[in-house]
Amino acid sequence: MTETRPPQSAHLEAILLVGGQGTRLRPLTLRTPKPLLRTAGVPFLAHQLARARSFGVRRIVFATSYRAEMFTEAFGDGSEFGLSLHYMTERSPLGTGGAIRNAAEALTCGPDAPVLVLNGDILSGHDIGAQVRTHVERRASVTLHLTEVDDPSRFGCVPTDTDGRVTAFLEKTPNPVTNRVNAGCYVFQRSAIDRIPKGQVVSVERETFPGMIAAGETVLGYADRTYWLDVGTPAAFVQGSCDLVLGHLPSPALPGPTGEHLVLPGAEVSPNAKLSGGTVVGARARVMSDASVHGSVLSEDSVVESGATVHESVVGAGARVCSGAVLRNVVVGDGAVVGADNELLSGMRVWPGVQLPACSVRFSSEI
C-alpha cells in the first residue's frame, strides 16, 4: 500500500487518548501508564507520535488521566519529535467521548477542520493520510478506521453499506454479519466533537456514533487488513514489541535496525547467549552465557543468568532470572527474583519485589 498524506492546506491536529489505567497489564502498569511502557526500546507512544508526524500531524493534544504528570515528563513540549504537544487532564474519567470533548478545548482549528483521534494502546500500519483524505472528500462527520479480522466473533462488529457508510455498531455475537471491527482511529469534523456534551461521561461507541447514524449524519468506515494490534494484554504487549523489532510494522522511532534482537546501549550479552524472535535487551541489562531469550522484553538493569530460558515474557526493571530457571509467557515485575531452576508457565505474573527461592516446582498462578 502506498501511504498518502492528507491535504496540506491546513495543519492537521490530533487528540491522543491516554487516560486508561492499563489494569490488564499489571504489574507492568502499577507505576507506569500503559502508553509509556518501553516497547521495542522506547516508550510505546514514541512510535505513535513519530508515525503521526510522518502523515503531516504537527500538533497533538494528550487526553490524560492516570498519572498524567508522567506524560509531560516523558515528552515535554514535543520538540524532540518535531511536534507541538499539549496536555488536557480529566479530573474524573469521562469515557472515550467525554475525553475527546475535554481535550478539544485545546484545539486551535476551526469547525470545518478534520481532527485525528488516536487511541494510546493501538499499533497500526494503516494509511492515516488516506483515511483523512476520504473523510475530507466525502464531507463526513466522522470516519472510522475499520480493521478486517479473521475471527470477528471476538469483537463487536461494524457493518457498512455499499457506499462505505457505517450502518450499526453490533455487540459480540457468534454469528457476526461482517469481519470488520472498530480499530480505534477516528477522523472527526471539529464541529462534531463540539456537539459531544461537555464534562459528562460519554462513550463514542455506545452513544456518539450510534446517535450520528440515527440522525442521518455521514459516518464512514475506512477498512483495510494492514497490521493492527491492541497491546492491552501482556502477550499482546510482547508481540507488539517483537513485531516492531522484527520489522513487521515499520516505525520511525525504532532505536536501531530491525532484526532478531535489539540490544540497547550499556547492555551486556554473552557471545554464548542466544537472542531471537525480536527480543529487546534493555539498557544495562545482562544476559549471561548459554541463556536463551526468545520473543521477549528484558527491561533496563535486569539480569538473565547462565542457562536460563526466557520465552515470550517480560522481565521488569532490575529483576533477575537465576540460573536454570524457565519462563514461558510470564511477566516478572520490577526488582523481582526468580530463583534457580523454577519453571514459570501459562501467563503467571510475579509482582514487583517478590523473591522466589531456588526450587524445581512449577508455578501456574499469580504470586
CATH number, domain containing residue 321: 2.160.10.10
Listed in sequence order, the residues at least 6 apart from 14 whose beta carbon sits closer than 8 Å to its beta carbon are 52, 57, 59, 60, 61, 115, 116, 117, 118
Radius of gyration of the chain (CA): 22
Is residue 251 domain-resident? no
Is residue 250 domain-resident? no
Residue 10 has pLDDT above 70, yes or no: no
Is residue 7 domain-resident? no
Residues 122 and 38 in one domain: yes
Residues 138 and 264 in one domain: no
Residue 299 has pLDDT above 90, yes or no: yes
pLDDT in tens, 148-206: 888 877 777 899 999 999 998 887 777 788 888 989 899 999 999 999 999 899 999 88
Q: Which of 224, 181, 194, 241 is nearest to 44 (CA)?
A: 241
The whole domain housing 149 covers 12-230
Is residue 241 domain-resident? no
The per-residue pLDDT for 360 is 52
Is residue 69 domain-resident? yes
Residue 98 has pLDDT above 70, yes or no: yes
Residues 76 and 213 in one domain: yes
The per-residue pLDDT for 46 is 93
Residues 124 and 189 in one domain: yes
Average pLDDT over the chain, rounded to whole? 89
pLDDT in tens, 351-363: 999 998 887 555 5
Residues 60 and 173 in one domain: yes
Residues 100 and 52 in one domain: yes
Higher pLDDT, 5 or 267: 267
Query: What share of the chain in percent tops pLDDT 70?
Result: 95
Residues 91 and 24 in one domain: yes
Listed in sequence order, the residues at least 6 apart from 8 whose beta carbon sits closer than 8 Å to its beta carbon are 56
The per-residue pLDDT for 283 is 95
Name the band, by pLDDT with cuts 50, 70 and 90, for residue 8. Answer: very low
pLDDT in tens, 317-329: 999 999 999 999 9
The per-residue pLDDT for 9 is 39
The H-assigned helical ranges of 104-163 are 128-138
Mean pLDDT of the region 323-348: 93
Higher pLDDT, 240 or 69: 240
Q: Which residues of 294-325 are buried (b: 16+ CB within 10 A; e: fewer)?
A: bbbbbbbbbbbbebbbbbbbbbbbbbbbbbbb
The per-residue pLDDT for 73 is 87
Listed in sequence order, the residues at least 6 apart from 9 whose beta carbon sits closer than 8 Å to its beta carbon are none
| 246, three cell numbers | 522484527
Residues 305 and 186 in one domain: no
Nearest-angstrom CA–CA distance, 238 and 110: 40
188 φ/ψ angles, rounded to the nearest 5 degrees: -100, 145
Is residue 123 domain-resident? yes
- Residue where one domain finishes, among candidates 180, 210, 230: 230
Strand order in the sheet with 261-263: 261-263, 279-281, 297-298, 314-315, 331-332, 349-350
The per-residue pLDDT for 190 is 95
pLDDT in tens, 212-255: 999 999 999 999 989 999 888 899 999 999 999 999 999 999 99
Residues 266 and 226 in one domain: no
The H-assigned helical ranges of the chain are 44-54, 69-75, 95-103, 128-138, 190-194, 209-214, 234-246
Residue 6 has pLDDT above 70, yes or no: no
Per DSSP, 157 falls in state B
Residues 281 and 170 in one domain: no
Four-residue CA torsion sign, 311, 313, 317, 320: negative
Is residue 57 within 8 A of residue 49, CB to CB? The reply is: no
Structural domain total, the chain: 2
- Residue where one domain finishes, among candidates 214, 230, 246: 230
Please tell me the least confidently modeled range out of 5-9, 43-47, 328-332: 5-9
Residues 219 and 268 in one domain: no
- Residue where one domain finishes, among candidates 230, 250, 269: 230
Nearest-angstrom CA–CA distance, 153 and 260: 33
Residues 185 and 265 in one domain: no
Is residue 344 domain-resident? yes
Is residue 4 domain-resident? no
Is residue 85 within 8 A of residue 71, CB to CB? The reply is: no
Nearest-angstrom CA–CA distance, 264 and 150: 35
Higher pLDDT, 141 or 7: 141
CATH number, domain containing residue 190: 3.90.550.10
